[in-house]
Structure 1
Amino acid sequence: MDRLAELLLRQRLVAPDLLVPVVEREAAAPGPEGSGRSSRSSRRERPLAAVADGLVALEADLLQLGHVLSVPLRARLAELDAGDLGQAGRALVSALSAQLGGRVVHTPLFRRFPESVPADTVELFVRRVFSVLLQRPEQPCVLCGQVAAVHPVSPCAHLVCRACWDGADYSACPICHRRIDPGDPFLRPADDVYAPAVRWSGRVPETLTLLGLCDDPAARARDLLGPLLSRQAAPRAEDRAVVAEIVDRFWPASAGWLPERIPARETRAVVLAAAVRHGDLALLTRHADTATDVLRLLHALMGGDPALRARLPRRTSLSRPVRRALLAALDRQALPYLIEDLHRYPAQWRHMAEVLHPHEFHRRHPDAALAFAVLRGTPLRKGTPMADVLLERAAAHGDLLSFDGVRLRARTFAGRFEAALRTDPREALALLARRPGELLRRTADLARRLPAADLAEVLRAAAPHVSPAVLIATLGQLRTPPGGTRMFLPRGGAARIWAEPDAREELAPETVAALSAVLTGEMLRRAAALPPVETALLDEELADLLAPEAERSASAALVRLPRGSVRPLPDGARIRLFLHWAEPADRVVDLDLSVAVFDARWEFVGLCDYTNLRLGASAAVHSGDLTSAPEPLGASEFVDLDVAALRATGGRYAVPVVFSYNDVPFDELARGFAGFMDDPDGLFDPLAVRQRFDLTGPAKILVPLVADLWSRTMRWVDLNVSAFGGFHNVYEHEEQLARLGAAAEDAYGLGERVTLWEVACWHAAARAREVVVRHRDGAVSRHARRPGEDAAAFASRLGVRQAADPAAEAGAAEAGLAVVLEDDVRVSEGAQVYALHPARLDPAVIRPLDASDLVGMLAPAMR
C-alpha cells in the first residue's frame, strides 16, 4: 500500500486514488482511440452491477474490522470501476487489518490454545530433555517405547516421536520450539486450526469506526505536517516518519510549507535531511542553529536516529559541497557554544569527524576546526600552518581556552554553573537567566536555595521562551511533595531507568504557589492568543490522563496514551495478550511474552511464561514458547488472563513484559508488535483488539503497562528496561520489574503532575465564552464567563463542581473545541476535537487533535 495512503488511513481518512496502483490506473485511463474521453467518463459507461456488488462486499469486510464508510467516501468509491474498486478494497482491508495486528497469520506453538496447553510445564520440559539426550534414530522411542515412530523434523533435525507429540496441535518442533517447514509430515492438519486471522465472528461491535473521504491528499498532508512542525516537544519516532514521508513525497512544494522556525530539533533534522538529499543546502542557514542540529542531521542522513539515543550509525561518505555546508553551519556558531555542544556528545562527534574532515578546511572554517581540535585533543605544534591559525583563534578566547604547550583545554558552561551553584546561588541564577530552558529544568532545585520572589522574577522573563512540555514538567516537579519516589527516564531509550526515594526538602506552600502562578499564567497567556471559540466541551475524566512531556521513546500505538495515564481494564472475563514478530533473514530471534504477578507490597506471587505455562488452574495461560520466527509466517505468542482468578492467587499487580530472550534489539526485527484483546472470539479477533503497539528501538525488554487487579485499571508506562547479556526472562529480572512497577505507581500515582484536564481547562478558560463539563457520574454542568473575569479565575472555577444541569449539554451550542474521552459529542464543522476514542467522528469535517497537539498549540510565538 502507498505510504501516504497508510498515513492518511491512520487519521481515518481514505484517498481512493492512492489505493489503486498507478500503473493500472494509467493503463486504463485512455478511452477509445481518438475519442479524447477521460478514464472516469469511460468507467461510467460500464455496467454498474459489479461495482454495486463489490461495494456491498467491501462494506461487509470492513464491518468485520469494526469500520464503516462515510457517505462521501462510499459515493467516491462507487465512481471506480470494478477492477479499481477491487484493488482499493483489498488494500484498504489489508491496511486496516494490519493496524489491529490481523494481517499476519497467528499460529501459536499449541494450535488448540488455550485448551491444549499442558498443565505441568516441568513434566513437558523433562520429556523434551529426555528426547534430546537419549533419543536415537531407528530405535524405539525413549518415552513410549513405540518402534518406527521416531523421525527427524526439518530443518532442526530433532528426533520426534509421532506417538508422543501431537503434530495436529504443535506448530513447531516440540523439542526446540523452532519453526519447521510447513510441509514437514509431522505437522498434521487439525480442524479449524489454520482459520484465517480475520474472519466473521457473527457479532457486530457496539461502536463502529467511521472512515472519511480525503479527495485532496496533498492538502491533507500539508494540514498534517503543519502541527507536527510546530510542536516544541521531542517527537515520537512515528511522527518523525510522517514528517519525512510528507516532505520527501511532495518536494519541492513541501519546501514552501515549512515555517520560519521548526522548534523540535529531531523534526528539524528530518526536514533538513530531506532537503540535503534533494540538493537544497540553503535551508541549513535557516534551520541549523546549533552544532547539535548538525549532528542530528548527520545521523538522519546516515539512516540513524536523530534523537541521538540509538547506536552510532554506519558512517557514509558525504560530497564535498555537503561537507563544506555542514562545516559552515558549525563555523557560524559562537565558539563557546560550539565547543560546549561538541562536548555534549563527544563519542558521536569523534565518529562524525572522520566524515567531515574539519581540519581540511581550517582556513575557511577556523572555529569549526578549533572546536574539533579541543574535542579530540589534537596535538598542536607551533610553527605548523594549522596550529598557528588555531592558536591565534584560541588566544582571543583566553577565558574559555587554555593551552598546555601541546593541546587546548576548554572550560564549559556546565562547569562554571556548578562551581557558582556551590558558592553563590545568585550567580548561578544569573548564568541560567541566559538559558531559559535550562533555568526551567533546574527551577525546583533553585527554589530550595533562593528566595521565591527573586526566582519568580527571573522565571517570569524566561517562561515565554520555553516549550510547553518543559513548563508542564516544571509545574509537576514544583507541586509534587517529597516522600514518594523519583523516577528518571534517560533519553537513551534503552538506558537504565533510575528510581530513588524523594528525600528532598519540602518547598514552602507559598513558594510553590508563587512559582506555579508564573507558569500557569504563561500557559493561559499563550492559550488566549489562539483563535476563540463560543463553546468548549470537556470531560472531567481527563484527569486520569497525564499531559505528555517527552515522547521521543513512546511506542507507536493504536490508542495513543501519554505515559503514566490510567484507564480501566477491559470488562470481559478474559483478557488476551498477544505478541507477533518476524526475524531478519540473517539471525534467529526469540521473543517471549511473559506476565509477572505481585501482591500489594510488590512481593512476587507468580508468573506465566515459557517456564510456567499455567498459573494456577487457568488464572493465566500461555500459548507456548516459539524460539524462532522465520518469514513469511513469523511467530505469535498469547497469554490469557482471568482477572478474578489472578486476584484469588493473592496478586494485585500484573506486569506484562516482552523479552528478547537472545538479546536482539527490537529495531533489528523484520516486524514486531504486541497488544491485548477483550474476550476474543477465536484465536485472534480484530473486533476485540483494545490496544496494539509496535516493538521498535534499541530496547530488548519492554514493559507496556502495570495492571492493578484490585481496581481493575491499568497504568500505561511504555518503559524500555535496560538489559545486558542474554537469556532474559522473569526470573532474571524479577526484582527489577518489582522496583520498576512500584516506582511507576508511586511516581505517577502520587505525584501531582499536570493532566490533560488541566491543559483542557487552560484552553477552554482562555478561549471560550461558555464551557460545558461532563462529570464522572454522567452529570453535566455549564460555566459561562463572567463580565471582566480573567482566564485564571475562569480556569479555577472549571475545577469546582456546580449544581448538575441535565439540560446543559443538550441545550448548548455545538462545541468549537471538545476535549473528551468518547466520541459522543456535538461539534461544529471544523471544530478542534481531542477524543481518546474518536471512532464515530468524521475526520474529514473536524480537526482531530491528539494529546501532543493540545500541548503543542501552547508553544511560544515565533521570534
Structure 2
Amino acid sequence: MTRVASTDVDLDSFLLRRRGVVCVPTGDLLPATDPWSADGLVALDADLAQRGYLLTGGLRTALARSTPTALAATGGGLLARIDHLLGADRRHLALFHRFPDAVPDHAHILYSRSIRAFLLNQPRQPCAHCGRTGAEAGIGALAPCAHLLCAGCHAGLVAERRADRCPLCGTGLAAGTYLGADNPAGHRAAQDFGGQQTLRPLRLAEGDAVTVALADLRRLLARRTPLNPQDREDLAALLTLAPADLPERLPEQIPVRETKATVLAALLRRDRALALPVLAARIDTATDVLRVLWAWSGAEPDLLPATARRLRLRNLPRPLRRDLLAILDGLGPGPLAEDLRRHRSAWLRAGELLHPFEYRERYPAVAAAFALLRGTDLRDHPVGAAFAEPPAPLRVVESGGRTRLGFTGFAGRVEILLAAGDAPGAARVLARRPGELARRLHHLLRVHENAVPGAPLPQETLRTVAGALRGAAPGPLLGAYGRLRGAREHGERRLYFPRGTVSLAHARRDEGTVVPAALGAPVCSVIETELLRRAGGERLDLAVLDEALSDLMVPSAERAAARTLVAVPRGSRQRLPGGDRLRLFLHWMQPEHLRVDLDLSVALYDDDWHFTGMCDYTELVHGDRAAVHSGDLVSAPPPDGATEFVDLDLARLAAGGARWAVVVVFSYNDVPFEELTDAFAGFIQLDAADGAVGHFDPKAVRQRLDLMGDAKVCVPMIVDLADRRYTWTDLNTGADGGFHSIRRYHDEVGGLCRDVLAHFAPGGRATLWDLACAVAAAGTDEVLVRDRDGGGVRAWLRGTDEPVERFADRLRARRAPDRPEPRSLTERLTGAKAFAALVDGDVPAPEQVSGAVYRLYPGPLDAAPEAWERLTAGDLAARFAPRTH
C-alpha cells in the first residue's frame, strides 16, 4: 500500500476509486514471470471476479513479474480496498487465507467454472486481450485458466500457431479448450454463479502513485464548480503531498472560492513568508479572507451557520494578523463594508481575532467597515474621531440619538429598483455581478411581467442580460436555464435546497406571477447560445452520445452530496437492475459507549401518493412476502457492527396496488449519522436463484451511499414499481424527539417525494444531455447517438452551410437524423479524437483514442488509453465555465 506516513494518505485507495488504476512498484519487478506468482494470479483473478472486477493485460503482466511476497501484498491490499469501496469489508472472508502461497490445485477448476457460468449469463463481457465485448465478438473462455478471449483473438492465435498458451498468463492450453458462450460445457455450472454486471477493468497506473495522484490535484484546483464532500477530502489529502514549490504549480485561477481558501490555508501552514505573496495576489474579496480564517481553523470554508456553531477560531500570530488587515484594507471601503455585512455574525467573531480598531490609523478602511458592522456609536467610542469624515461611500448617520456609519450597497440598490418595478434598471445593476444576475433572472422577469404584462423584454435589456451572462458561473447559468424553459403554473409547489452540511429540501406553493413562455424563450435562447460559445474549442473528429443522458440532471448542491459508489446526480432517473427482486441493505457501526439504533424501512404509496403500507421493524413481512425485512437490530457494537436487509419483490408489490416504494433510513434513538463510526446504505441486484436472507454479495452491489452529517432521517431513492426505475434523491428530512419510524413520518416522506418528482420532471431542469449536445455540436460535424435502449446508433451530420445553433437544436431535440450508423462505436472511436458521453460504459475500449469521455456506470470502456480524459458529471458541467474570448 502506498501510504505517506506524515499525512496517512492512502494513495492506492484514492487511485482505485477515482481512476480505476492500480500502482505496481516497478523497482522490484522480476525480468520474467514468476511461476508462484502466476499461480497466485489465478486466485486473484477469481477473487476479483467475485467482486465484479477484471485485470487488464498490462496490469496482469506487471503483477506476474512481482515476487510472491509482493504479489500477496499488492493483491491482498487491492481486494481489501475494493471490499471497502463496495461496503463488503465488514463481512469479507478470503477464499485463500494464505494467498498467494499454498494455492490449492482446484483453483483453476473453481475459477473456470465460475467464469464460464458468468459468461453464459452475461454474453457482453469484455475480451481480456482486446477489450471487445461478447455481443459483438463472441466471447469465450480458455481452459484451464478461464481468461476471456473473443473469437477474433482466438482465431488470430490459431493462425499464428500460438493457441497452445494463454496470451495473458502463458498457461498451457490443450487442443479444443476454447469454450465459447454457446459451448454446452458452460451450461452445467450456470446455476452456480449469479450476477448480471459487466466486469469492471482495472488498469495499470502510468507512473508512480504520487505523480498520478497530483495530476488529479491540478484538475480539482481548476474545477469551476463546487466540490462534493469526497472531492474536498481528496483535495485536502493531495495538498499534503504537494511539493515545496506548490505556489509555482498553482493554476492561474482557482475559480471556486472554497477551494482557493483551502489551498491558501494549506500554504500558510507550510510557510507564512512564501504564502503571503500568494494571498495578496489571489484574494479579491473580504469573504476570501473569512474563508481562509475558517480553513486555517480546521473547518470547511463554506461559512455555513452549522459550521460556525461548532467552530473554534484558531488564534492568529500578530504578523499574520497585520498581513490580513493590509489585504482587507486594500479592497476599498465600499466592497469591504458590503462583504462584511453579507456574513455579519461570522465577521463579528473574526473581528475578535483581527482587532481592527487597534490598527485604525494604519488600516482605516477596515476600522470603518467594522464600525459599520458593529453599529458603533461614534460619539462614545475612541474610534469616532477617526471617522468625522468617513471614506466614501460610507456616510455618518444620526439616528435615535446615536451617531453611526451608514452605507447603501449593491443588494440595497437592486432591491430598491425591483420594488419600483424597474426591471431594466435592476438588470443594469445586476450585470456588474453576472452570477447574481443569473440567480435572480426569474425574479427579474417576474417584475417585468408585473410592470408591463404581456410585453416582451426590451432589446436593450436582453442585450444587457446576454452580455452579463458571459461571465456567469456554470451553476447559476444552468439553474436559470432549467427554471425558465420548463412549463410553470400558478400556485405550483416549488422545491428549495438550502445550503447546508446535509441535503435538505423544502417546498412551498409559489403564488408569484408566472413567467410566460414568450417572455422566457428569448432568454433561454441567449443561454443556449452562450453554452455553445463556451463549449467551442479544439475541433473533434467525432462525438458519441447516449439518449439516456436526458435522464441525468446537471449536478446541483454538490457541497452536501453524499459519497456514493456510483455518482448519480440528485434527481436523476435510472433503470433498476434486471430481475424481479431487489435487496436493500443498511450497515452501521456505533462508537464505544454509545448505543445507536438505525432502521432500514420502505414506505409504499399508490399512484396518488396515498400511503398503502410499509416494511420495517414493526412489519417484517408485507403482503404475500412482497417485501421482507431481515429483522430489527437495536445496536451495532464494534468491530462488526450490524446490517439490516429488505428484499423487495417488485412484481408482487405492483400487483398489490403500490406504485412507489420509498427507501428510508431512520436513526431511531435520535443520534445524528455523523456521530457513527461507519454507516452506509445501498442496494444489491438479486438473481432469481439467490434467496439467502442476510446475504451480501459484493459483486452484486449496484449502489452505496454513506450516511453523513447532522441528520437522522435519510431518503436515498424513490422506486417506481410500474416503470422499474428509480429516482436518486440523496435527501434528508428534519426530525426531532427520537423514536423515528415510517408510521410517524409517512405523510411527510410522501409529500417530500411527490415534490421531488415534480421538481425534476422531464423538461423542467438542465440535464447532461443538454451539456453533451452543446459540446458535440460546437466541436464536431458528426455526432453518433445511441438509442435509449442501446439497440441502435443514428448519426447527425452538420450541413455545409448549417449554423451551429440550428445543428445543436436539431441534435438536442433528436430531430431529423441523417442516417443510421452500421459500424460499431468501438470501430468508429478507434484512432479518433473524440468526445463521448454515455450512461453505461459497456462499449469495448477503443485503441489510440484521445479527447474526453464521461460515463456513469463502469465497464469495458474504462480500459481505454489514458489519453482519453475521464470526466465526472461535475467536470462536464465545469467545461462550461466563462471564457474571455
Helix, strand or coil: the match of 1:371? helix
Q: Pick the aligned partner of 1:16 from 17, 23, 26.
A: 23
Partner of 1:685: 697
CA separation in 1, counterparts of 2:443 and 2:393? Answer: 31
- The size of the alignment, in residue pairs, is 747
Please list the CA deviations of residues 416-449 of structure 1 after superposition, one character each: whole Å capped at 9, or x if unmatched: 3222211142332222121111111111121233
CA separation in 1, counterparts of 2:555 and 2:809? Answer: 22
AA aligned opposite 1:837 = Y
CA change 1:435–1:817 in 2 (3 A) is same
AA aligned opposite 2:517 = P
CA change 1:675–1:393 in 2 (3 A) is farther
After alignment, is 739-748 or 583-592 more displaced? 583-592
Q: Pick the aligned partner of 2:418 from 416, 421, 428.
A: 421
Deviation at 1:336, TM superposition (A): 2.5
Q: Pick the aligned partner of 2:631 from 624, 633, 641.
A: 624
Residues 428-827 of structure 1 correspond to what in structure 2 (within 5 A)?
Answer: 428-450=426-448, 451-452=456-457, 453-483=459-489, 484-494=492-502, 497-528=505-536, 530-585=537-592, 587-679=594-686, 681=690, 682=692, 683-749=695-761, 751-777=763-789, 778-798=791-811, 799-802=814-817, 805-807=820-822, 809=824, 812=828, 814=830, 816-825=834-843, 827=846
CA separation in 2, counterparts of 1:560 and 1:641? Answer: 23
Helix, strand or coil: the match of 1:282? helix
Please list the CA deviations of residues 7-30 of structure 1 after superposition, one character each: whole Å capped at 9, or x if unmatched: 111134434357xxxxxxxxxxxx
8 Å contact kept, 1:400–1:411: no
Deviation at 1:409, TM superposition (A): 4.6
Deviation at 1:406, TM superposition (A): 5.2
After alignment, is 222-231 or 638-647 more displaced? 222-231
AA aligned opposite 1:540 = E
Partner of 1:837: 857
Tell whether 2:298 aligns with 1:290: no
Deviation at 1:78, TM superposition (A): 2.7
CA separation in 2, counterparts of 1:335 and 1:630? Answer: 56
CA separation in 2, counterparts of 1:92 and 1:749? Answer: 41
Helix, strand or coil: the match of 1:339? helix
8 Å contact kept, 2:497–2:557: no
CA change 1:565–1:321 in 2 (3 A) is same
CA change 1:813–1:214 in 2 (3 A) is closer
8 Å contact kept, 1:494–1:722: no
Deviation at 1:319, TM superposition (A): 2.5
CA separation in 2, counterparts of 1:244 and 1:629? Answer: 30
Q: Pick the aligned partner of 1:397 from 390, 393, 399.
A: 393
8 Å contact kept, 2:15–2:21: yes
After alignment, is 88-97 or 230-239 more displaced? 230-239
8 Å contact kept, 1:13–1:843: no
Deviation at 1:66, TM superposition (A): 0.9
8 Å contact kept, 1:6–1:95: yes
Deviation at 1:242, TM superposition (A): 1.6
CA separation in 2, counterparts of 1:724 and 1:468? Answer: 36
TM-score of the aligned structures, taking structure 2 as reference length: 0.80
CA RMSD of aligned residues (A): 2.7
CA change 1:780–1:402 in 2 (3 A) is farther
AA aligned opposite 1:418 = E
Please list the CA deviations of residues 567-623 of structure 1 after superposition, one character each: whole Å capped at 9, or x if unmatched: 012222221111112223353332222111111111111122222222224222222
Helix, strand or coil: the match of 2:541? strand
8 Å contact kept, 2:333–2:391: no
CA change 1:16–1:232 in 2 (3 A) is closer
Partner of 1:857: 879
State the identity as a percent: 41
CA change 1:353–1:582 in 2 (3 A) is farther
Partner of 2:252: 260
8 Å contact kept, 1:539–1:775: yes
Q: Pick the aligned partner of 2:45 from 56, 59, 63.
A: 59
AA aligned opposite 1:232 = R
Deviation at 1:470, TM superposition (A): 1.4
Query: Any stretches of 5+ residues in structure 2 without a counterpart?
Result: 4-9, 94-190, 449-455
Q: Pick the aligned partner of 1:210 from 201, 211, 225.
A: 201
8 Å contact kept, 1:599–1:652: yes
After alignment, is 689-698 or 204-213 more displaced? 204-213
8 Å contact kept, 2:502–2:708: no
AA aligned opposite 2:586 = L
Helix, strand or coil: the match of 1:759? helix
CA change 1:415–1:328 in 2 (3 A) is same
AA aligned opposite 1:852 = G
CA separation in 2, counterparts of 1:15 and 1:348? Answer: 44
AA aligned opposite 2:863 = D
8 Å contact kept, 1:63–1:204: no
Question: Highest relative contact order (Cα 8 Å, sep 6+), 1 or 2?
Answer: 1
8 Å contact kept, 1:678–1:689: yes
CA separation in 2, counterparts of 1:613 and 1:74? Answer: 46
CA change 1:243–1:304 in 2 (3 A) is same
Deviation at 1:401, TM superposition (A): 6.5
CA separation in 2, counterparts of 1:596 and 1:393? Answer: 65
Deviation at 1:482, TM superposition (A): 1.6
After alignment, is 8-17 or 517-526 more displaced? 8-17
Q: Pick the aligned partner of 1:323 from 309, 321, 333.
A: 321
CA change 1:424–1:250 in 2 (3 A) is same
8 Å contact kept, 2:503–2:730: no
8 Å contact kept, 1:51–1:85: yes
Please list the CA deviations of residues 732-771 of structure 1 after superposition, one character each: whole Å capped at 9, or x if unmatched: 3222111110001111115521211111110000001211
After alignment, is 447-456 or 273-282 more displaced? 447-456
Partner of 2:339: 341
CA separation in 1, counterparts of 2:200 and 2:596? Answer: 35
Helix, strand or coil: the match of 1:773? strand
AA aligned opposite 1:460 = A
CA separation in 2, counterparts of 1:588 and 1:393? Answer: 62
8 Å contact kept, 1:247–1:255: no
CA separation in 2, counterparts of 1:745 and 1:9? Answer: 34
After alignment, is 75-84 or 732-741 more displaced? 75-84
Please list the CA deviations of residues 249-304 of structure 1 after superposition, one character each: whole Å capped at 9, or x if unmatched: 12324433321111111221221222122122332123322222222222222232
Deviation at 1:854, TM superposition (A): 1.2
Q: Pick the aligned partner of 2:371 from 370, 373, 394.
A: 373
TM-score of the aligned structures, taking structure 1 as reference length: 0.82
Deviation at 1:808, TM superposition (A): 5.1
AA aligned opposite 1:244 = A
Residues 190-339 of structure 1 correspond to what in structure 2 (within 5 A)?
Answer: 202-203=193-194, 206-216=197-207, 217-279=209-271, 280-309=275-304, 310-312=306-308, 313-339=311-337
AA aligned opposite 2:680 = F
AA aligned opposite 2:263 = V
Deviation at 1:106, TM superposition (A): 8.7
Helix, strand or coil: the match of 1:394? coil
8 Å contact kept, 1:232–1:469: no
Tell whether 2:99 aligns with 1:99: no
CA separation in 2, counterparts of 1:686 and 1:773? Answer: 33
Deviation at 1:792, TM superposition (A): 0.9
After alignment, is 546-555 or 797-806 more displaced? 797-806
Helix, strand or coil: the match of 1:255? helix
8 Å contact kept, 1:64–1:204: no
Please list the CA deviations of residues 492-529 of structure 1 after superposition, one character each: whole Å capped at 9, or x if unmatched: 2448622123444343433222111111111101111x
Deviation at 1:381, TM superposition (A): 4.3
